[in-house]
């Protein structure tokens, strides 16, 4: 039986208070930091998904997003590398539709069913940019979710699925568009969302002889709270069955949205529960799921929703999204463009965050060395992964002069549990809360972009959830 | 095998120092000419007496022949040395060792920088990453103030010094060096600053505020070096190199997790060599004047301890007692230091030598100390754990 073996979510730390966007608005939405994008959020969700899972047993990684940092260059391979998965796996990017997440899920199910993979990780992440002043600005949120799909140790089985494709221009972004466009709301909703999403849902229920009251949870896409509720009524669900779409706290996370709701729903799923999952975008995908075993541990959507910091101002948000230009002064020249050949040569140390452990004296060191810093043995090292190690702050500074979208730039020297030291940026921190000795964890981020090269690396951040 | 000592094998017979500051009026050629001709006149030599020259710079006129071009000296060997902020003393070392080897009789060591044409208020390079060979640009760019701020925060933590107390101690160093700068006609910054102003200045890299950081200056300094037996023919008050140590770090601060970050191994190694050569066993008592590398106030504080002026963790006691002020037991940075005299990278080490040379000759005007037998220059370049540190001791004929 194919189904969900593990799941993980990621919701950025930062929230935009909608009251700072426009008078009369209330609530929040989740905002990726300036150094995050769909790839880095996907990696964060993937890390959480690997909790209690063996990364060496993953045979594929499918990454779905409508906001890939690259138009031409695969990002699932970067995610697989950052997650330190094997190299002999199938990686694929899914995009261009809000349905991309569930389409990737279906492809993973089919791969496992066909036997070409035992376990596939499906990652969905999005950070769509709403035009300032548009309705989307209060609706969209940033986040990511990941699942491991397999046929052993399945916690929630995926019993059936049904997809339809539907040609329509209701919401779109053309090549070169920065913001999401949409046609008149009544057309987009009536001939799009309300007409299309019920088709696979009804077909799936009919094929499995199920009625709305047979489901413990109904999880489906919605463009906003009111339309989501209206859809529940049209489909015949009682609101007690319906998973909260998290508008006003997280927001519509695009290709990750319905899967994010699924993850939230899984936190309450019990063996025997039947769940309906439906997504929408250029058609609709519907799935029938059934709880087999309860999930153990892991970080829940609820924890991520509660773990938050409100950004200082709307201006900060505009700056993070490069929607306003801010002076950098004439303090220093810009950082040189990173060398693609050096990035390639250092891919193990930069993306997998491998250091080395000396086979002669056991000293753990980063970055990898040719000669041991302790015993001077030459080329006697084994690889040592730092990305999953906890650390403590050894010393730091908050630099107020270096241009950054989120001043001050915090630099840290950190000591890892189990040995090793790193000189590294700190992110997602509040300068006033930084203390030498504080616990830290590593997070995959985009340092900067230059000449079309997104330079990915790891930063440290204060441990977000104490005790795990 | 014990290495031979440089003691009393190299002598300075002339020095020159251009006015430091934002020299909008001057090119690197102007600065080289200004410092060199002062040095030639001071030594009583003709430019054509120079048999070899060393040029220290990080960003300005990259080749040694910048000196040839400026002074129109054709046909002698030129060497350019880049050792970040320690280039000045390293140039001095190479030139001194060359005369000591007997290969040349009269050489010049020149260090200079023309930074203020690049259009940046900071250094004209993007901040060096701690692993400079990593062209993937993934290692954090750590501007100079941030590098030393990392040190300051750790020092405070290590010794249990509360933030306000630490800030105050650092500010006192800035106040002292600003005062000394007012007495130096060639200094970049020549005004007093109050303790209150220094403490409350805008933050640059926590805990370092504006007055904890040296500025970016243009400048040039030159030393004319020969052997003592030749020096005697030129003047009686020539100055002798009594000992010199230079040491480089291998990233020990960034890689192994047991290094404490409250001292620098390069400082200890360089000082140990210099003290051994000069026969110094108690630097706090034996040294009369020191010019230390106060690029940031915390580095002056650490240097007090690394150079053996203050016991470990006790530098603040000496700061509070005024031990390093002009009328204290061991005046440090008598000319204003990097903080106020200025810091044209390649020139700085030689500027330190210039002040000690003038003090030993009794020509330091308003700054002149009563008793000066032994002077120390301490010049470092690089970043924590990968510095080049240079320590040189100067004195007179015994």
Asked if A309 and A367 sit in the same domain, the reply is: no
Sign of the CA dihedral B253, B259, B261, B266? negative
Strands A409-416 and A453-462: unpaired
Q: Which domain holds residue A453?
A: 340-462
DSSP conformation letters of B243-311: EEEEEE--STTTSSTT--SSS-HHHHHHHHHHHHHHT-S-HHHH--EEE---SBHHHHHHHHHHTTSS-
CB-based contact B135 A338, cutoff 8 Å: yes
- A318: buried, middle or exposed (CB in 10 Å: 19+, 13-18, 0-12)? middle
Judge if A175 and A301 occupy the same domain.
yes
Is B62 assigned a catalytic role? no
Quick check: is A468 in a domain? no
In B, which residues are within 8 Å of A394 by CB distance?
154, 257, 261
Q: Are residues A370 and A425 in the same domain?
A: yes
CA distances from residue A397 to A408, B154, B205 in whole angstroms, order as listed: 9, 10, 6
- Domain boundary among the residues A285, A320, A355 is at A320
In this predicted complex, what is the ipTM?
0.95
CB within 8 A of B78, min separation 6: which ones?
B52, B53, B54, B55, B63, B64, B65, B67, B68
What digits encode the pLDDT tens for the residues B297-355?
999 999 999 999 999 999 999 999 999 999 999 999 999 999 999 999 999 999 999 99
DSSP secondary structure letters along A220-280: E--SSHHHHHHHHHHHT--GGGBPP--TTTT-B-GGGHHHHHHHHHHTT--TT-EEEEEEE
Answer whether residue A325 is part of any domain: no
- Residues of A with CB below 8 A from B251's CB? 373
Q: Are residues A76 and A189 in the same domain?
A: yes
A208 CB within 8 Å of a chain B CB: no
Do residues A115 and A162 both lie within one domain? yes
Q: Is the residue at A378 inside a domain?
A: yes
- Stretch(es) of chain B classified as CATH 3.40.47.10: 11-117+220-231, 144-214+242-395
- Shared-domain flag, residues A315 and A344: no
Helices and strands per DSSP (H, E), number in chain B: 13, 11
* B11-117+220-231 placed in CATH 3.60.15.10: no
CB-based contact (8 Å) between B261 and chain A?
A: yes
Number of domains in chain A: 2
Q: Say whether both A70 and A14 belong to one domain.
A: yes
Tokens of B122: 């900071």
In a domain, A333, yes or no: no
CA distance A226 to A234: 12
Query: Do A238 and A275 sit in the same domain of this protein?
Result: yes
Partner residue facing A397 (CB), from B205, B254, B255: B205
CATH number of the domain within which A81 lies: 3.40.47.10
Is B178 among the residues known to form the active site? no
Question: Would residue A269 count as lying in a domain?
Answer: yes
Same domain? A311 vs A439: no
Tell me the pairing of strands A364-365 and A354-358: antiparallel
Residues in chain A closer than 8 A to B142 (CB atoms): 411, 423
Question: Chain A residue closest to B203 (CA)?
Answer: A400
End-to-end alpha-carbon separation of chain A, Å? 31
* Domain co-membership, A344 together with A436: yes
Q: Do B127 and A400 touch (CB under 8 A)?
A: no
Listed residue (A138, A155, A139) closest to A147, CA to CA = A155
DSSP state letter for A338: P
CATH superfamily of B144-214+242-395: Thiolase/Chalcone synthase (3.40.47.10)
Residue A407 lies in a domain: yes
- Closest residue on chain B to A414 (Cα): B257
In a domain, A327, yes or no: no
Q: Is residue A406 part of a domain?
A: yes
> Which tops the pLDDT comparison, B125 or A212?
A212
Residues A197 and A258 in one domain: yes
Query: Tokens in use for A243?
Result: 């998973």
Q: Of B125, B136, B157, which has the smallest distance from its Cβ to A342's Cβ?
A: B136
CA distance B376 to B334: 12
Q: Extract the tokens encoding A19.
A: 């009251």
Residue A111 sits in the same domain as residue A227: yes
Helix residue ranges per DSSP H, A115-208: 136-139, 185-187, 194-196, 198-207
Q: pLDDT 10s digit of each residue in chain A, 468 long? A: 999 999 999 999 999 999 999 888 999 999 999 999 999 999 999 999 998 899 999 999 999 999 999 999 999 999 999 999 999 999 999 999 999 999 999 999 999 999 999 999 999 999 999 999 999 999 999 999 999 999 999 999 999 999 999 999 999 999 999 999 999 999 999 999 999 999 999 999 999 999 999 999 999 999 999 999 999 999 999 999 999 999 999 999 999 999 999 999 998 889 999 999 999 999 999 999 999 998 887 668 999 999 999 998 999 999 999 999 887 777 777 778 888 999 999 999 999 999 999 999 999 999 999 999 999 999 999 999 999 999 999 999 999 988 889 999 999 999 999 999 999 999 999 999 999 999 999 999 999 999 999 999 999 999 999 765
Q: Contact at 8 Å (CB) between A450 and A397?
A: no
């Amino acid at each position: 039986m194919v189904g969900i073996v593990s799941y993980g979510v990621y919701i950025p730390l930062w929230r935009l208070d909608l009251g700072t966007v426009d008078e009369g608005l209330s609530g929040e939405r989740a905002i990726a930091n300036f150094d995050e994008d769909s790839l880095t959020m996907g990696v964060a969700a993937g890390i959480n998904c690997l909790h209690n899972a063996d990364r060496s047993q993953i045979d594929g990684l499918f990454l779905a997003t409508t906001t890939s940092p690259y138009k031409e260059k695969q990002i699932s391979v970067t995610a697989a590398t950052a997650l330190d998965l094997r190299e002999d796996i199938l990686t694929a990017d899914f995009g261009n539709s809000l349905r991309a997440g569930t389409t990737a899920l279906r492809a993973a199910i089919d791969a496992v069913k066909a036997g070409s993979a035992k376990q596939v990780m499906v990652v969905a992440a999005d950070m769509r940019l709403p035009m300032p002043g548009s309705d989307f600005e209060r609706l969209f949120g940033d986040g990511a979710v990941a699942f491991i799909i397999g046929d052993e140790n399945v916690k929630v089985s995926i019993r059936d699925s049904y997809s339809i494709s539907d040609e329509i221009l209701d919401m779109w972004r053309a090549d070169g568009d920065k913001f999401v466009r949409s046609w008149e709301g009544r057309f987009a909703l009536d001939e799009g969302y309300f007409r299309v999403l019920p088709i696979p849902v009804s077909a799936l229920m009919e094929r499995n002889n199920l009625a709305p009251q047979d489901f413990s949870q109904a999880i489906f896409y919605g463009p906003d709270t009111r339309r989501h509720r209206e859809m529940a009524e049209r489909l015949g669900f009682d609101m007690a069955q319906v998973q909260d779409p998290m508008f006003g706290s997280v927001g519509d996370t695009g290709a990750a949205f319905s899967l994010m709701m699924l993850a939230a729903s899984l936190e309450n799923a019990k063996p025997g529960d039947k769940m309906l999952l439906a997504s929408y975008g250029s058609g609709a995908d519907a799935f029938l799921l059934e709880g087999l075993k309860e999930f153990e541990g892991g970080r829940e959507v609820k924890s991520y929703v509660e773990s938050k910091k409100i950004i200082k101002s709307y201006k900060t948000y505009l700056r993070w999204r490069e929607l306003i230009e801010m002076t950098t002064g004439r303090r220093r020249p810009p950082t040189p463009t990173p060398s693609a050949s050096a990035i390639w040569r250092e891919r193990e140390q930069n993306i997998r965050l491998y250091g080395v452990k000396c086979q002669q004296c056991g000293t753990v060191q980063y970055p990898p060395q040719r000669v041991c810093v302790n015993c001077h043995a030459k080329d006697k090292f084994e690889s040592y992964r730092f990305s999953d190690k906890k650390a403590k702050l050894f010393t730091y500074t908050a630099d107020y002069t270096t241009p950054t979208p989120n001043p001050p730039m915090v630099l840290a020297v950190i000591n890892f549990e189990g040995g090793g030291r790193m000189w590294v940026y700190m992110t997602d921190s509040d300068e006033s809360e930084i203390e030498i000795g504080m616990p830290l964890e590593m997070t995959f981020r985009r340092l900067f972009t230059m000449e079309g090269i997104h330079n990915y690396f790891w930063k440290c951040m204060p441990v977000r959830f104490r005790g795990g | 095998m014990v290495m031979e000592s440089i003691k009393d094998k190299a002598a300075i017979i002339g020095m020159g120092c251009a006015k430091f500051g934002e020299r909008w009026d001057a090119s690197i050629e102007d600065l080289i000419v200004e410092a060199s001709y002062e040095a030639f006149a001071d030594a009583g030599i003709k430019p054509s007496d120079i048999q070899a020259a060393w040029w220290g710079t990080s960003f300005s006129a990259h080749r040694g022949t910048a000196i040839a071009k400026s002074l129109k000296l054709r046909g002698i060997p030129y060497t350019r040395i880049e050792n970040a902020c320690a280039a000045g003393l390293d140039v001095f070392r190479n030139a001194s060792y060359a005369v000591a080897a007997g290969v040349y009789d009269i050489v010049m060591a020149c260090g200079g920088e023309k930074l203020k044409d690049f259009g940046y208020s900071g250094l004209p390079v993007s901040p060096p990453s701690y692993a400079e060979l990593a062209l993937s640009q993934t290692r954090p760019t750590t501007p100079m103030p941030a590098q030393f701020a990392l040190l300051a925060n750790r020092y405070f933590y290590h010794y249990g010094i509360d933030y306000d107390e630490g800030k105050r101690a650092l500010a006192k160093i800035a106040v002292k060096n600003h005062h000394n700068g007012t007495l130096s006609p060639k200094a970049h910054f020549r005004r007093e600053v109050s303790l209150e102003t220094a403490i409350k200045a805008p933050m640059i890299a926590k805990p370092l505020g504006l007055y904890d950081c040296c500025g970016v200056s243009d400048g040039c300094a030159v030393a004319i070096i020969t052997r003592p037996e030749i020096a005697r023919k030129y003047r009686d008050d020539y100055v002798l190199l009594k000992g010199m140590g230079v040491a480089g770090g291998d990233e020990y601060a960034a890689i192994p997790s047991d290094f404490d970050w409250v001292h620098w191994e390069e400082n200890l190694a360089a000082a140990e060599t210099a003290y051994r050569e000069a026969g110094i066993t108690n630097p706090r008592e034996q040294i009369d004047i020191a010019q230390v590398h106060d690029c940031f106030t915390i580095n002056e504080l650490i240097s007090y301890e690394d150079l053996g002026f203050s016991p470990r963790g006790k530098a603040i006691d000496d700061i509070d007692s005024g031990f390093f002020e002009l009328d204290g037991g061991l005046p440090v940075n008598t000319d204003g230091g990097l903080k106020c005299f200025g810091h044209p990278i390649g020139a700085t080490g030689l500027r330190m030598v210039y002040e000690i040379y003038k003090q030993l000759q009794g020509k330091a005007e308003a700054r002149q100390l009563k008793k000066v037998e032994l002077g120390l220059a301490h010049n470092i370049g690089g970043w924590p754990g990968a510095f080049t540190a240079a320590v040189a001791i100067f004195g007179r004929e015994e």
